[in-house]
Structure 1
C-alpha cells in the first residue's frame, strides 16, 4: 500500500517487522561500529534529520510514524529529499529507537566515501578518547569554532556511533571525519600540533597561537600519549584561578578552540 502526500512524493507503508529496511536499521543500532561496514548511519529524531538536510545531505530512507506523517507537514516535505519514504506504526518505530523519550521520525544516510586528511587546515585530533559524550561535545565545539576536520586515532570511540551522533547534535554534518589513524598519519596535516599540559610554560591567552593548527586532545584518564606529545610543536596550560586540578577534556577543547578561532580573527592581515 502506498500513500501520496504531497502529490509528487510517494510513501510506502511498512507493517512487517522483518522488512529488510527495518532489519538494517536495527542492526546499525545494535552495533555502534557497524556503520563502518554498512557505510550508512541511522539518525534518530527530527533534530539530526534536519541538521543533515541543512548541510545538503541526501536521505537514503526517511522513516516516520503514521501519526507524524499526518500531523507534520514540515516533515512530509523532507520526503522530497529522500530516495524513499516509509511509514510505520508507532509500535514498529519504537523498535528503531534507542532514546528514552520516543521520537517519531528518523533517517538512514550514506557516509562519504573514504575521507582523507586535508593539509593546512584548522584541525582537531582525538587520541583514544573513550567517552561518547566527550567525543560528541568536542565535535560540537569543533564545528562551532570553525575546525574543518576531526581526526580520530585508533582506540577512539566510533565517531558515527548512535551515542556520539546524539551528543554531537548535528555537528557531524559540517565536518570531515577521518578515523582509525596512526600518529604517523598526522604528518600529512602540515600544521603545528598543539596540546595542553599542566606543566607547560606557555599559558593559553598569553601569546599568539600558530594558525592554522591542530589541537590534540587525549584520553580522559591518560591524556595525550607520550609519543604523540613529542610531536607537538607547542604545549600550553589553561589558567584555572578557581584552583581545580584539571578540566574535563570536552571543556578544555572548547576553551582551546575558542582561543585559536578568536586569535585568528583578530590577527592582522598579511
Structure 2
C-alpha cells in the first residue's frame, strides 16, 4: 500500500488528527477513535477491529510491513509532526484511527459495570480494564462520566475498550433496563465484599469520586457491599474499589 506523506502541520488531514488526539470529546463529532502505540494497536487488531488509517512516523518505516495490510490507508509523518500528536514517550511512532463503534441496545442480562459520573480519566480506564479482566461485557456510563473514548481513557484501559460494549451518556432509565441484580458499594451498609458470595451475572455501580453514587441510582440497588479497610483509611480510590468488587464477582462465578 503506498503511504500518503504529509509534511505540513497545516494539512487538513493532519489538523483533523491533531483535534482527535488533543480534544477529549472530538471523537463524538468526528465519529473516529485514536489509538496509539504497538500494544493498543495490536489489542484492537486481535479483536477484529479494522483501522481506517494507519499513522506512522518516518522513523518507523517497518510499521508499514507490520500493519499496512490491516488498514484502509496509511499516512506517513515526519517524526516532528508525529511527536506533536503523541502523548507517549515510547509509542514507537505508530497510531491508528478507527471508526467509532455504532450505538447498540443495552443487553439486559449481561454482566455490567455502571459508572456514575466518574471524572478522572485514569479511574475510568482502570475500571474498564478490570471489567474486561473479570468477565464483564458491558459498561454503562452515566452522563457526566469522563468520555470513554478520550485518548487518556483509552490509554488507561490498556486494550479493554475493544472487548467491551460501551454505552455513553446513559441515564437512570437505561440502568432500569438491566435484569441482573444491581449492586452498590457503601461505607455504612451491606455485607463485606469478602464475607459472602455475590450473584453472577450482576451489575456493579461505581460512583463519583467525591459525591459517590447518586440517590436515584442507590434507590435501584438490590444489595450493598462494604470493603473492609483495617488500615483505617477513610476510603479507597474508586478504581481500587471497583477492582475488589469485580474480582469478588469473578471468584463467585468460577468457584475459585
Q: Are 1:246 and 2:238 counterparts?
A: no
Q: Are 1:18 and 2:10 counterparts?
A: yes
TM-score normalised over the length of structure 1 = 0.90
How much has 1:145 moved relative to structure 2?
A: 0.5
The 1:102–1:55 alpha-carbon spacing in structure 2 relative to 1, beyond 3 Å, is closer
Cα distance in 2 for partners of 1:110, 1:149 equals: 19
How much has 1:18 moved relative to structure 2?
A: 2.6
How much has 1:124 moved relative to structure 2?
A: 0.2
TM-score normalised over the length of structure 2 = 0.95
How much has 1:101 moved relative to structure 2?
A: 5.3
Which shifted more, 30-39 or 12-21? Answer: 12-21
Cα distance in 1 for partners of 2:225, 2:91 equals: 43
Q: Are 1:158 and 2:147 counterparts?
A: yes
Aligned length: 256
Cross-structure match for 2:213: 224
How much has 1:103 moved relative to structure 2?
A: 4.1
Higher Rg of the two aligned structures:
1
Q: How does 1:1-270 map to 2 (within 5 A)?
A: 9-69=1-61, 72=62, 76-99=65-88, 103-266=92-255
Does the aligned pair in 2 maintain the 1:97–1:103 contact within 8 Å?
no
How much has 1:100 moved relative to structure 2?
A: 5.0
Cα distance in 2 for partners of 1:201, 1:189 equals: 21
- Secondary structure, in 3 states, of the residue corresponding to 1:134? helix
Does the aligned pair in 1 maintain the 2:199–2:252 contact within 8 Å?
no
Cα distance in 2 for partners of 1:135, 1:19 equals: 33
| RMSD between superposed Cα atoms in Å | 1.6
Does the aligned pair in 2 maintain the 1:94–1:102 contact within 8 Å?
no
Which shifted more, 234-243 or 146-155? Answer: 234-243
